[in-house]
Structure 1
Amino acid sequence: MNRARRITLLASSAVAVAVAIALLVALAPGDRPSAAPRPTPDPAVPASRVDISTLVLPFDTYETTPYENQVIEQAKDRLLGDCMRESGLSWTPLPVLTRSDTEGPHDRRYGLADPGVAARYGYHLPPLSPARKRLEAVYADRADLPLRERNAAFGPNSSTGGCWKKADERMFRGVERDQMSLLAGHSAQTFDVARRDPRVSAADKRWSACMKKAGHTYTDSYQALGDPAWGKSKRPIARERAVAVADVRCKRETGFLTTWIRVDQEVQNAAVRKNPALFRDLAEDRTAQLALARKILGRS
């Protein structure tokens, strides 16, 4: 199976769009932050050492996390493998991933936010864990399946037929796919609304002023994240790491993170209140699908 055809659940569509630019990586040597005085945070938005890894947003009740997506994908793959073996064909199962092997649901929702990651990797993505490397290797091997196995697994068009279709139908039985699409749309829309909120725009300006005092000129946080200089090297070097560290520090000292998170929560809560029936159904679907996946995998 071609890796581009892998079908996985993408619960956080808005985040995926917003941070796809983070795949650009590296830098050339250059200036480091100056020792300029640090700005005073907006009194209405006190500085906070926000821990993105424990952040909970309203939509989290309805969206599966990257780890939960992997659990569902693994369960579907178990069904696919059973189907293949019933046809007398072998199937290499996907390796088991732990929570630490997958990104957190909001890791880069607001750009870089972890000072340790910024200092070590700059704007590059951290390297894959051994388990994720094994996962990629299995997917790569499936791209070279013999014709008989490929057709049995994925159908004549090698994407959405065969045993894959049977497994997919069982995993999503009773789940309204249209509603899942609506959730993705709500995620994208609310992210954009929060991003454009005047309070977030003001926080971005405070962040920009802080960065300028540190010797780095960017009009907003995503301009720093998408600086084309980072794509010139496979590994981060001095200037990129310096900018990244200043980026995270300025987000914390200017109240950037606390502001955007608060607005994000407000906008998502408003969306839920506006369409309670839809979100109630989404919560039920998420719970039922995860329960089915864990049952298939034999997990409690």
Structure 2
Amino acid sequence: MLRTLEPGQRCEVWIASVTGESEMVFSTDEVLLEAPNWTLDGRSLVLNGDGKLWTLDVSGGRLTEVPLTGVPDLNNDHVLAPGGTGIFLSANDGHIYRAPLDGGEGQRITDDDGSFHFLHGVSPDGGELAYVGIQAGDFTRPGRLMTIPSDGGTTAAVDVGPGHCDGPEYSPDGQWLYFNTESFSSLPGHAQLARVQVDGSGFERLLESVTVDWFPHLSPDGELACYIRFLTGTEGHPADLPVDVVLVSTGDWTAPLHTWPLFGGQGTLNVNSWSPDSARFAYVAYPLGNTDTPKDQVRD
């Protein structure tokens, strides 16, 4: 089901700097955009909205549809191929596709294996994808961390415990998968940040917190990471809530460097949105009416 804006709601695309500043580069009340990626030339963001793929010129604020064929309506899980000319896409039929970033025919990668496939990561060499598998599309079941060759083929499961996991993304050196998981807690929905080596060893928690933490994204140089933080007790990563976007050093996940409170959640930071120079990243807010998210609603 495609997401749309509520009456009086806006979609705002923001760019945050690692020095703490942020700038709104696009605002609309017509289309609900989600999950920005940053192109390798540093000029554009790639987002989904209304089931389609869009590019947003960072300097000019021009939104342009990417003309795709052979791909069903998209959801908010997409990542650029390392070469910068292709993109991997999750669609609402539960499959993963690859398509040219400038538009054209998409090719399905995943088989009809009885599960839904939600893409989140591509290895630095472009040879492998990491995704979350949901058996039979039954969202009462936990998501499982899975990998597949980027041109299709045999899938493999990575054991990260019994809890639901989401957002698996490769580290810049290709040695680790970073993600969030509920395997560390018995509290419903209490997602925490974690990583595991690509061979399945070294599974570890990155941060112990009372908040519900999702979607860790490493900068291209591996020095920094951003993630989205929900209030304690949140289950899943729902839309339209007060949340924080948090910036940390990968050397110390416990000490936020900067925090950006906003109204959002689903769609805000689902995929890696770092600029190629590791100096900025993008996120999306969805304010209602003329009010901003009160800062005291989002707690450490």
TM over 0.5: no
**TM-score scaled by length of structure 2:** 0.22
Structure 1 or 2: more helix by fraction = 1
TM normalised by structure 1 equals 0.22
Structure with higher strand content: 2
Higher alpha-carbon Rg: 1
